[in-house]
Structure 1
Amino acid sequence: MYIQKYQTFRKGDVIDYIEIPDGRYGARGLPRMKKKKPTKEQIAEINKQNKERRCRAYLMEYFRPGDTFATWTYRPSARPPDMKSALKDFQKSIRKVREEYKKRGYELFWIRNIEKGTRGAWHIHLAVNAIPGTAEILRKAWTKGGIYIETIRDSEKFGDDDMTRLAAYLTKDAKMGDKKDDGSREKPRLKESSYGHSRNMQLPPVRKRKLQHWKKEVKPKKGYYIARIWEGINPYTGFKYRRYTMIRIERRHDDEGSDLRHHHSGRSRRKRRKLRSCRGIHHPKGA
């Protein structure tokens, strides 16, 4: 017996799957390694992967290839003394961005990573949903140094279909370096980092279904293609697992940037507050 977990993003344009054996029944027919206690390095690796996957889920649901990736840099004389000060700088600037979006009738979604390099330089990587005038809004909001702006799809570093490379880039930390082609990690290039995202992004639920057999080959649903697939063996349980992402060939929504779903609406905000209230969730005010 096996379990398939899946999340549907962008109203069905993207579907993310994971297939694993049901732990209650074992993994009949699959080779199993001897169960081992995870090492500190393995725990750090799985924590990093979980962080990347959650960031990727936010990106797939709320961002498009035509949305904006920016880097706010600090001039040497304006560098913050510590991460607490850098967070205040970010909060002050992103508040200005949010106000400008609101004036134009849009809701702002963002994901950021504040980074301090090993040589002492600071910068902030930031993904935001694009609207008319986004570049100018970001420039005016940041007064501590320069800014680099590009669209997600045009980046050589992370311009892929399923946001995997961008999620890895936005979740870099001081504990683990970038992943090499062979799967190993480089030495960390950061001394300190702080990852975060806007509080107005709710992820779709993870759904489950039981599978009777482990398919040797995954085939895409009609009208979809498989953007990426991983297969491996869990180092803790010794069981096989599989992850893959399907994307609709003819997408319902424009990939140039944010669609009408991102348009600011008092009614939609009231609906979200009501939903949070029903779930017993409270989000304090602030950036």
Structure 2
Amino acid sequence: MGTKRKTWYLRKKDILYVEENHDGRYGAPGEKRKPKRKPTPEDIQRVNAWKKEKGARLLLMEYFSPGDLWATYTYRPEIRPPDMATAMKQFRQAMDKLKRIYKKRGRMLYWIRNIERGTKGAWHIHFVINDIGDTASLIERVWQYGGVFVTQIRKSMCPEEDFKRLAAYLTKDENTREEKKDGTPAKPRLRETNYSHSRNMPLPESKPEKLKRWQKGLKPKKGYYIAESFEGINPVTGYKYRRYTMIRLNRRI
């Protein structure tokens, strides 16, 4: 009893998201353990950021497809919001208008967004939204405060099918620091952020399993391929962990 596995079955089992880690109570036969240490504030911050990113990624995989839209709302300098509460209200009003249009057409509206206030004072709202055919024009129609930029997710800078980079981009915050060419962290570019999503997007519960031992390599489930995988060391337990995404070979879009 050395390894725990949790699997999320998404998109009617077209996508499987899997996490594996050692159960520290039982040890890990045959697996060398790295020295454990007390988590630092930076460790805690990284874990919290990863949990938020993971939540966004699961929502993206369950409710969105590469044909849906990736959009940005901007503000004209003279009417920038005075605070985050105002920006949140303005976005909510725009989505309420869209929701009424979607409802008249018998469709559900799904969105995930991040409101960003930059260190130089500019405001942006990045969001993904499910497309019902003319959503690009509808997005522009309901926004009166500035520019509107829209593209399909598959044509964006984050096109991969398991949505890893898109989730990371959507969950940036004031602690996010990009890496410079020399490998050192750049200065933070955001002063304030607020991440949220529509409330009509429940996620399925994960299915837990207990494995006898840590598997050395990954093998995709029959009928699937591994789209992405990551392996690291948990600083608290000192043991390895991994997470990976499997996608059905004949996936229904």
What's the TM-score bracket when you normalise by the shorter of the two chains? over 0.9
Between structures 1 and 2, the one with greater helix share = 1
Task: Tell me which residue corresponds to 2:243.
Answer: 243
Matches within 5 A, 1:1-287: 1-155=2-156, 157-178=157-178, 185-252=185-252, 254=253
Amino acid at match of 1:45: R
CA contact (8 A) 2:24 2:237 kept: no
Which consecutive unaligned segments of at least 5 residues does structure 2 have?
none
The Cα of 1:185 is off from its aligned counterpart by: 4.9
SS of the residue corresponding to residue 21 of structure 2 reads strand
Amino acid at match of 2:69: T
When normalised by structure 2's length, the TM-score is 0.95
The Cα of 1:191 is off from its aligned counterpart by: 0.7
CA distance in 2 between partners of 1:47 and 1:224 (Å): 30
CA distance in 2 between partners of 1:234 and 1:8 (Å): 25
Q: How many residue pairs get matched?
A: 252
CA distance in 2 between partners of 1:178 and 1:62 (Å): 28
Query: Percent of aligned pairs with the same residue?
Result: 53
1:206-259 per-residue CA deviation (whole Å, 9 max, x = no partner) reads 11111112211111112111000111111121101111110011112x2xxxxx
SS of the residue corresponding to residue 218 of structure 2 reads coil
Cα separation, partners in 2 of 1:203 and 1:184, compared to 1, 3 Å: farther
Cα separation, partners in 2 of 1:169 and 1:182, compared to 1, 3 Å: farther
CA distance in 2 between partners of 1:185 and 1:47 (Å): 19
SS of the residue corresponding to residue 54 of structure 2 reads helix
When the two chains are superposed, the root-mean-square deviation of aligned CA atoms in Å is 1.6
SS of the residue corresponding to residue 61 of structure 1 reads helix
Cα separation, partners in 2 of 1:23 and 1:54, compared to 1, 3 Å: same
The Cα of 1:180 is off from its aligned counterpart by: 7.4
Cα separation, partners in 2 of 1:183 and 1:217, compared to 1, 3 Å: farther
When normalised by structure 1's length, the TM-score is 0.84
SS of the residue corresponding to residue 161 of structure 1 reads coil
CA contact (8 A) 1:108 1:129 kept: yes
CA contact (8 A) 1:176 1:185 kept: no
CA contact (8 A) 1:176 1:186 kept: no
CA distance in 1 between partners of 2:92 and 2:173 (Å): 20
